[in-house]
């Protein structure tokens, strides 16, 4: 059964959504830029302004289900010293930025609870939603389904023939991705949720290191 959040919860997800997709796509563009590709910078994608990054359907999925995607950053791998590894590192940057952001939000929530420094419950919920969205956006994009980041991260370790296979059958991955959205509740329950438990446990461990 599909569980749709309340209108208030959906509205409170929007700031976290805008931040999560912005930091995700900016990280892609920034790592590409560090490797000599200035295309993302010329296209205005290395920015925390969410407008250049928003994909309508991906944003709706994030608001409704807590996971989704943004408008992909276009890069030019021919500018990389090692295109295969460069593409993998660029892909990894987005989910890594979201996990780091989630850790920051988790730290804020820890001290907000410890010292009762956030009195407004809606602002607190907004931070909680930003935390969750960053985690689930990272996990969803780590799935090894083209064109998601997880399929490109494999470039770092996979042989060259994998790259050829990827581009030949990328359209199949897009069909699978559409199916994932259609069966979102099952994807959330049986795939993303177990991975999320591991990520949450890791973040809890990191939080335990803070006084």
What are the catalytic residues? 25
DSSP state at residue 52: G
- Residue 112's alpha-carbon distances to 8, 26, 105, 118, 206, in angstroms, are 21, 28, 10, 6, 17
d(CA 31, CA 170): 23
* Ramachandran quadrant class, 143 (left: phi over 0; alpha: psi -120 to 50; beta: rest): beta
Q: Which two tokens stand for residue 97?
A: 């930025």
Task: Round to whole Å and give the CA distance between 61 and 109.
Answer: 25
């Amino acid at each position: 059964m599909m569980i749709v959040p309340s209108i208030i919860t959906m509205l409170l997800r929007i700031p976290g959504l805008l931040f999560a997709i912005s930091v995700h796509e900016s990280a892609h563009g920034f790592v590409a830029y560090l490797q000599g590709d200035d295309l993302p910078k010329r296209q205005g994608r290395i920015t925390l302004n969410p407008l250049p990054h928003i994909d309508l359907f991906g944003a709706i999925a994030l608001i409704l289900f807590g996971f989704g995607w943004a408008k992909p950053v276009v890069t030019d791998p021919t500018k990389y010293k090692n295109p295969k590894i460069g593409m993998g590192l660029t892909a990894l940057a987005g989910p890594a930025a979201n996990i780091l952001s989630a850790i920051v939000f988790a730290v804020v929530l820890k001290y907000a609870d410890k010292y009762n420094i956030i009195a407004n419950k809606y602002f607190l919920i907004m931070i909680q939603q930003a935390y969750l969205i960053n985690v689930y956006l990272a996990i969803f994009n780590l799935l090894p389904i083209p064109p998601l980041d997880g399929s490109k991260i494999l470039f770092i370790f996979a042989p060259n023939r994998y790259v050829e296979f990827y581009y030949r059958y990328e359209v199949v991955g897009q069909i699978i991705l559409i199916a994932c959205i259609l069966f979102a509740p099952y994807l959330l329950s049986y795939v993303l949720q177990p991975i999320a438990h591991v990520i949450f446990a890791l973040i809890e461990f990191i939080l335990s290191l803070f006084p």
